[in-house]
Amino acid sequence: MTSQGATRQPKYQRIADALRKSIQAGEYGPGDRLPGENDLMAAYEVARMTARQALGVLQNEGLAEARKGAGVFVRAFRPLRRRGLQRLAQEQWGAGRSIWSTDSEDRELVVDQIDVREEEADDRVCDALGITPGTRVWARSRRFVLDGKPVLFATSYLPSDVVADSPITQRETGPGGTYARLAELGHGPVHFREEIRSRMPSAEEADRLSLAMGTPVIRIVRTAFAEDGRAVEVNEMTLDSASYILEYDFDA
C-alpha cells in the first residue's frame, strides 16, 4: 500500500527516487546513460518538465551528469576521500611527501594552474594572519585536477617576511611542499585550524571547477600556526562537493 507521505511526494521526486534506487542496485553503472525525458514521459505518463526535474535532482545530487546532445549519464567519477588529520601529519610532509598524496592515493592528480605572486594583504588575510593592513604577503593559487576532473582550487597566503627568497615564492616548492619549506625556515607548522562551510558557487567558481548546475561547493579555510603561535599560512580552498568525502578520524 502506498503511504500517504509518498502520495503527497511530487511526481518528479518519485521518479528521481526510482532512478536513484536503480543506480544503487547496479542496474545503471558508472557511465551508463539514464532514461531520457521522452522515456520517462512515456513510462510515468508525466509532462516533459516533470521528467526534466527528475533528472535534475540526480544531477544536483552529483549522481548524474548531463552531456550536451547525448543525454544524462551516471557519474563515473569516484569521490575523493579527504583525510583531514592524516594529510596534515608532520610525518607526511616532513618525509617529503605531498599532503595531497594522502587523498589521491594511486590516482592521477595534476596541478594544471599555478600562479605565484607577491601582493598587499587585504583585510580578510590580515585578520587570519594577525598582520597589519598594508603588509605584503606571497599568494600561491593552484587548481587540482583528478582523473581529468577539476576538484579543487586553493590560494595560500604567507607573510613575506617569513618566506621571502625561499622556494615557497617559486612555482615548485620541492619535496614536502610549503610546510616542509616553512620548517626549514624555522617556522614549521605545529597546529592547524580549519573552518568548513557549504554554499552555492559563484559563476567563476562553477566555471573553474566545471560544475554541473546546482552543485554546491565546500569552502575550507585552514590556518597554520608555528610553535611560537604565529599564523604562518592561511589557505582558502574551494572544493567540488560532489567530488569529496570529508573524513576525520580521532580518539574520544
Least confident of 22-31, 82-91, 95-104, 221-230: 95-104
Residue-averaged pLDDT of the chain? 88
**pLDDT at position 212:** 72
- Residues 204/49, Cβ–Cβ less than 8 Å: no
Predicted TM-score (pTM) of this structure: 0.76
**pLDDT at position 1:** 40
Whether 81 has a pLDDT exceeding 50, the answer reads yes
Tell me how far apart the alpha carbons of residues 118 and 99 are, in angstroms, rounded to a whole number. Answer: 24
| Percent helix, percent strand, percent coil in the chain, to nearest 5 | 35, 35, 35
- Nearest CA to 185 out of 204, 203, 199, 168 is that of 168
Whether 105 has a pLDDT exceeding 90, the answer reads no
Torsion of CA 96, 225, 197, 64, to 10 degrees: 0
Rounded to an integer, the average pLDDT of 177-189 is: 94
As to burial, measured by CB atoms within 10 angstroms (0-12 exposed, 13-18 middle, 19+ buried), residue 168 is buried
**pLDDT at position 220:** 95
| Sign of the Cα pseudo-torsion (111, 114, 65, 236, in order) | positive
**Domains of the chain (ranges plus CATH)?**
4-74 (1.10.10.10), 80-247 (3.40.1410.10)
Rounded to an integer, the average pLDDT of 55-82 is: 83
Q: How confident is the model at residue 248 (pLDDT cuts 50, 70, 90)?
A: confident
**pLDDT at position 43:** 94
Q: Look at 218 and 8; give whichever has higher pLDDT.
A: 218
Residue 144 CB contacts under 8 Å (≥ 6 apart), including other chains: 100, 109, 110, 111, 150, 151, 152, 153, 154
**pLDDT at position 152:** 93
Rounded to an integer, the average pLDDT of 53-71 is: 86
Three-class DSSP category at 84: coil
Bin 147: left if φ > 0, else alpha if -120 < ψ < 50, else beta.
Answer: left
